[in-house]
Structure 1
């Protein structure tokens, strides 16, 4: 079931939802919504030439594929935060699903504002958009909490949180709490679900 964020209408399948976006809200669409509508148009017309304008979209898609291949291959130096779901390697079937949840992150006493540009539209599989920092969007299967945070520049493990070059939790006096819907989770294994509320708190010594 797809719900339109612009007018609240509901649709049983992805194609009907995208046609509605194209026909009723063409001037209101964000970057990723425009891309998804363009893909539908290309599929229905039997041509891939209209997927992206002036080759820009093709370059972005190529960059995404390189990104997914690199982080799902277990490349040396990867932190493991890209592992999506138990027994899988990163997000899969990008564009096949669309659901939302909320988030609250406090690191070093700072409440992160995900409406800031640095956090907006950082990945197709998981992102914030349209200047909204409260509601996250998932557009792929097997999006783990660790992967989602990694796209925002936040490395989350069972015991530590690393942000802006500072690691919290590697000192006995520091505290790290990672919860979804009030329950502690393993960030590298927990796959985000529709309606999840994520809460992450990381404090330095004496905070």
Structure 2
């Protein structure tokens, strides 16, 4: 199997992909990829204070975060119904659009760039191209990492909330077919160029106020 390198476009055997990133693209790597190949400088360790209770001293040190290969403490705390598996790594791409009352979300906004280890966007790509690095990323989880709430009956973005119970319309489709965002797991392709061309899941979320 081979992996498409997003930096140079070459296809690299899976077993040598990380070595290829380290040798060829050290100065170009995103923070996530740099952590993945071990070139990111360690962040300062934070410690909790020593707690003295009665006679004697009890020292409690909490290690902040944990790492599985290149996954660190960047992944947001999630309440999604289905959680991704950060220990099962993939590198897949597709496209997405989110519109509410005619306003389109621009995913190249800085707040959305590399916001989560399992699902994110890169500044160099088209705004619509998503990146998934973990198995079992659902649409609900993906949008939650971007600060939005989405189920089949409810959508929340910033201070705006929509609900079908209030007469609002919420449509979530993948390649034109209606799906449940809480259970649908993203399926993409390795090549960013292929994703731009229409391969991989094309997610479309359209929300309209009822009144």
Tell me the TM-score normalised to structure 2 length: 0.74
Partners of 2:27 and 2:73 in 1: how far apart? 28
Q: Within 5 Å, give how 1:94-109 maps onto structure 2.
A: 94=87, 96-109=89-102
1:19 aligns with 2:35: no
| Aligned residues: CA RMSD | 2.6
1:164 aligns with 2:158: yes
2:74·2:116 contact (CA, 8 Å) conserved in 1? no
1:175 aligns with 2:169: yes
Partners of 1:66 and 1:117 in 2: how far apart? 16
Partner of 1:9: 10
Q: Is there any run of 5+ residues in structure 1 with no aligned partner, and where?
A: 42-50, 72-77, 85-89
Max radius of gyration: which structure? 2
1:30 aligns with 2:44: no
- Deviation of 1:17 after TM superposition, in Å, equals 1.1
SS of the aligned residue for 2:171 comes to strand
Partners of 1:171 and 1:64 in 2: how far apart? 39
2:134 to 132, 140, 151: 140
More strand by share: 2
The one-character-per-residue Cα deviations of 1:34-56 (angstroms, maximum 9, x if unpaired) are 11111xx7xxxxxxxxx642437
More helix by share: 1
Cα pair distance change 1:83/1:131, threshold 3 Å? farther
Partner of 1:203: 208
Q: How many equivalent pairs are there?
A: 178
SS of the aligned residue for 1:17 comes to helix
